[in-house]
Structures are given as structure tokens and as C-alpha cells.
Amino acid sequence: MKLSRLGEFGLIASIQRRTPKGRGVKIGIGDDAASVANCRAASLVTADLLLEGRHFDLRWMPFEDLGYKALAVNLSDIAAMGGIADYAILSLGIPPRLDSREIDAFYRGFQGLADECAVALIGGDTNAADQLIVSVCVIGHAAARPVRRSGARPGDDIYVTGTLGDSALGLKFLKRRARSERPRLHPRALIRRHRRPTPRLAAGALLAQNGLATAMIDVSDGLVQDLGHICQASGVGATIEADRLPLSAAYRALCAKDGIAPALSGGEDYELLFCARRKDRGRVEKLPGRAGVAVTRIGVCTAAHRKVAILDASGKALKIRAPGHDHFRR
Ligand code: ADP
Ligand code: MG
């Protein structure tokens, strides 16, 4: 049904019908505000805004994947603090031309990940807009002391979970396909990483609970840029060995002339980038078995204040053309 027929309250009622109540929820969708149990004295709170045309393009982003991703990017921020996610608030600006089935698909993707991660959707807001606007807020709690960006010290090892650059390469192929330049190889794995990034909640919580990460951030804007944030906040530098960067098989097969650029600065990986003391190396390297994701040591923190250096196999520093994504820079 066209949303212009279903109307705001019809839509909210259908969202309410399809949303399970969730653990800790005393009052969910349907009143003026939600009421929830707080597990701890302190909450972790994060929000992300996704705008059509700027963060996603409906020509190559299916609604169901968009719903999944809108929640995933917020959960990734909770993971980067080493936290546990509890509740989500989802606000939408919706063009009335959309069909209610498209919004249904969006909620299916959102709720699918919410179920997987035991997060309860407890409310939101709905309005009409010229372009689709998705705003998500997630509330969680810290399982241990939250891991900040500022705790890295010179000599700490630098690690990243999963693989880098898949999302950026996947997006490149999607754009190419939209221009009907059919790529010969079908990079399904890369496209999936772009549409459905996995929030590394288990890895983040394990690192925090075991006191292993001295500093942590999720890679949303590109490795070089996000590592720069850790260096800035911690007052350290960093040296990364380019040939240690974890690249997926699909990436290696399809990166061609892009080389390692998408892995260094492509963005939207939503992997965890963290630092740990040299003496904890053995314990960190045991982590993948419990967290369900690979962890790769890619470099070391230095005393070269705020300077990020990427070294090639011969130890020569590579020139980085663009460190990563910045919404206000072109
Ligand atoms: P109010 O006018 O008091 O803001 P609304 O009519 O906007 O009330 O919302 C009614 C209920 O529906 C509230 O519980 C609100 O949190 C929930 N809600 C509104 N929009 C959404 C949405 N897009 N997703 C989930 N819950 C929503
Ligand atoms: Mg409202």
C-alpha cells in the first residue's frame, strides 16, 4: 500500500504490531515515551544519521539491507567501547511515494539484526521527507570500563578484526553495475560486506572484559583516518606494515589496480581497530576462537606524536593520497 494511503499512524501501528517487546522493556512502542530497565549505573549511548544520496543510494541498496546496516553501524560504535547493546530508537523521514512494503522490508532487516544481537526496538519518530532519512540511537551498557580512544601508549601493538577494504570495493562494483558496465567477475562477497557489515560486539566486549585493549575505535571512515583518531586522542604515532593488512580472498582476486588503497582508506568496514600491550600479545592472539572473528596484528604505536606511517615490504613509507572519509571535505 502507498504510504500516502496508509498514513503515519497506520504505519506506526504496523511497526508496533511487528516489534517484539524485548528484554528489559516495561513500556515499548505506543506511548509518549518508552520505559526500560537500566542494567547499570552508566549507559552507553550512540546515534548515527543516514541520508539518502549521501550515505546510501536506493538504486543499489535494498531496503532490507538498509535496515540491517542502519542498526549495524550503531552497534559497531557500542562494540568499539567494549559495550553491550540493549535498546534502539529508530526515527525515519519517509518520502510519501514509497510503498509500505518497502518500509516493511526495512524493518525486517533491522529487526533481524536486533534479534540476533538481543537489542529491543523501543520507539522512534516518523515524518514525511523529500528523501529517505534514517536516524538510529542505540543505548547499551559497559560490561567493564569502556575502552576509549585515548589509552594507547608507544610500544603497544595495533590490531584489526576481520578484513579491510571489502565494503569500499563492493560499493565500487555496485556503482559500476548501476552504470551497466557489467563486471566479468561477480563480487558477491564484497557487496555483502558493504550492505551487511557485521558489528563486532563479541570481540569488543571480550577485549574490554579482559582488560586487553588500551584504545579502540571502529573503522567507519577508513583505517588511516580512524587510526589517526586514536593517535590524536592518545598522543602517540603509529607505524603500519602494509603487507600485514588482512585482505579477503575476494578482495585479493578483484582489487586489481586499486591495490591496497580501499583497505587503507575505503571506509565502512566496521571492523574494530585496537591497541594492546606487547606483553598481552599471546592473550590477544587467542581471542579469535572466542570472538568468532580473525584478529590481525598490523603495526605498532610509536612516540612520533600523531604521525601515521604506512610501510611497504622494504620498509619504505607509502604516500597516502586520501586518509579516509570526511563529510565536509570534497
Ligand atoms: P509523539 O507524537 O508523542 O511523538 P508518535 O505518534 O510520534 O508520538 O509515536 C507514537 C509511538 O510510536 C511512540 O512510542 C514512538 O516511540 C513510536 N514510533 C514512532 N515512529 C516510530 C518508528 N519509525 N519506529 C519505531 N517506533 C516509532
Ligand atoms: Mg513523534
Q: What does the pLDDT look like over 37-75, one tens digit per residue?
A: 986 678 999 999 999 999 999 999 999 999 999 999 999
Confidence class for position 319, pLDDT limits 50, 70, 90: confident
pLDDT in tens, 100-135: 999 999 999 999 999 999 999 999 999 999 999 999
pLDDT of the residue at 186: 60
Residue 15 Cβ < 6 Å to ligand 1? yes
Conformational region of residue 212, where left means phi above 0, alpha means psi within -120 to 50, and beta covers everything else: alpha
Q: Give me ligand 1 centre to Cα 105, in Å.
A: 19
Residue 125 Cβ < 6 Å to ligand 1? yes
Q: From the CB of residue 112, how many other CB atoms can be counted at a distance below 10 Å? A: 15
pLDDT of the residue at 260: 94
Q: Give me ligand 1 centre to Cα 256, in Å.
A: 47
pLDDT of the residue at 40: 65
In the numeric block, the cell 565502512 is attached to: 268
Q: Give me ligand 1 centre to Cα 90, in Å.
A: 9
Among all bound ligands, the one having the nearest atom to the CA of 88 is 1
* Ligand 1 atom at shortest distance from the alpha carbon of 121: 25
Among all bound ligands, the one having the nearest atom to the CA of 33 is 1
Among all bound ligands, the one having the nearest atom to the CA of 9 is 1
pLDDT in tens, 138-178: 999 998 899 999 999 999 999 999 999 999 999 999 998 87
Separation between Cα atoms, residue 246 and residue 248, nearest integer Å: 7
Our mutation pick for probing the ligand 1 site, out of 63, 125, 139, counting the most ligand atoms within 8 A of Cβ, is: 125
Separation between Cα atoms, residue 227 and residue 306, nearest integer Å: 9
For domain 3-142, which CATH number applies: 3.30.1330.10, 3.30.420.40, 3.40.250.10, 3.40.630.10? 3.30.1330.10
Please give the mean pLDDT across all residues of the chain. Answer: 93
Domain with CATH 3.90.650.10 in the chain: 157-311
pLDDT in tens, 168-191: 999 999 998 877 766 556 689 999
* Ligand 1 atom at shortest distance from the alpha carbon of 33: 14
CA 176 to chain centre: 24
Residue 14 Cβ < 6 Å to ligand 1? no
Task: Please tell me the pTM assigned to this model.
Answer: 0.94
Separation between Cα atoms, residue 106 and residue 103, nearest integer Å: 5
Domain with CATH 3.30.1330.10 in the chain: 3-142
3-state DSSP helix/strand/coil percent for the chain, to nearest 5? 35, 25, 35
Per CATH, domain 157-311 is 3.90.650.10: yes
* Ligand 1 atom at shortest distance from the alpha carbon of 90: 24
pLDDT of the residue at 104: 96
Residue 31 Cβ < 6 Å to ligand 1? yes
Among all bound ligands, the one having the nearest atom to the CA of 11 is 1
Percent of the chain scoring above 70 in pLDDT? 96
**161: β partners:** 295
Is there a contact between 103 and 63 (Cβ–Cβ < 8 Å)?
A: yes
pLDDT in tens, 228-286: 999 999 999 999 999 999 999 999 999 988 899 999 999 999 999 999 999 999 999 99
Q: From the CB of residue 259, how many other CB atoms can be counted at a distance below 10 Å? A: 12
Separation between Cα atoms, residue 278 and residue 158, nearest integer Å: 10
